[in-house]
Amino acid sequence: MNHPAGPIGVFDSGYGGLTIFQELLKQLPEYDYIYLGDNARNPYGIRSFDVVYHYTLECVRHLFNQGCNLVILACNTASAKALRTIQQRDLPVLNGSRRVLGVIRPTTEIIGSYSKSGHVGIFATEGTVNSESYPIEIRRFFPEVTIYQEACPMWVPLVENNEHNTAGAEYFIRQHVDRLLQRSASIDTILLACTHYPLLAHQISKFLPPHIRLIPQGEIVASSLIRYLTKHPEIARRCTQRGTRKYFTTESTENFDTKAQVFLRNCPVQAEHLQL
């Protein structure tokens, strides 16, 4: 059954997805969007496959109930641990004409082309690193590229708790930067494979030699969505274009509104609380 056209849903375990969302608003401002942050159950990165899958599915269902026909998992951990099961097992039962897309595929299609040395570092959550999704997918597109992964379990809590610009944060940032760089002197590109991490980019850069490029995913994902909607006009037609934005959080709306403003400078944010 085809549902009426609706907004594009954007989901993350918390605030991180806003780094993707702000690029979507830049590159595709005409669409209607609903952003959902599961801040109350964040972080996902340290949770088991099953828990991440169930949490993500619950949030996707909520976005479907809000009328979204297309949902972007703006979360690497959910993309690594839940996307395939949702696409293959749940969507055909829930509604085969709705779509859920992740952030890993668009990133792995292009990341190898940023590196001259063919040595690419990846900062991600434990969940994403342990899933091996990045090395497996990148190998398919860039078999000659060597990948070095570093899990950074403290980084998401630093962002969610607004501690990412503190001296204390520097300790944990430097620790993982040093560990990654010790693995290969040839790394010339580092991917921020967690949507929270662009908020740490400035701090991370302080500990990187100047020739190393730090790549966030926002622009990559937004450009890829443009190509997807062009290639799939039947999906694009099912996404409404009135330029509206709506926000849901499973935590306090006050905190969300203040924090979201950091990402979305000129857009007023008034989130609704969602009890899951």
Catalytic residues: 75, 194
Residues at the site binding ligand DGL, with contacts judged by CB under 6 A: 12-14, 16, 42-45, 75-77, 125, 128, 156, 194-196
Beta carbon of residue 12, minimum distance to ligand DGL (angstroms, whole number): 5
Using a 10 angstrom Cβ sphere, with 0-12 exposed, 13-18 middle and 19 or more buried, the burial of residue 157 is: middle
Yes or no: say if 134 and 108 are a contact pair by the CB < 8 Å rule: yes
- Which C-beta is closer to ligand DGL: that of 156 or that of 214? 156
| Residue whose CB is nearest to ligand DGL in the complex, by number | 45
Beta carbon of residue 193, minimum distance to ligand DGL (angstroms, whole number): 7
Characterize the bridge pairing of strands 189-192 and 8-12: unpaired
Beta carbon of residue 237, minimum distance to ligand DGL (angstroms, whole number): 29
> What single DSSP character describes residue 165?
T
Half-sphere exposure of 269 (CA within 13 A, CB side): 28
- Which C-beta is closer to ligand DGL: that of 6 or that of 198? 198
Bridge partners of 35, per DSSP, are 10, 247
Beta carbon of residue 191, minimum distance to ligand DGL (angstroms, whole number): 11
- Which C-beta is closer to ligand DGL: that of 75 or that of 271? 75
Torsion over CA of 164, 168, 170 and 172, rounded to 10 degrees?
A: -90
Q: What angle do CA 116, 78, 115 make, to 5 degrees?
A: 0
- Which C-beta is closer to ligand DGL: that of 193 or that of 212? 193
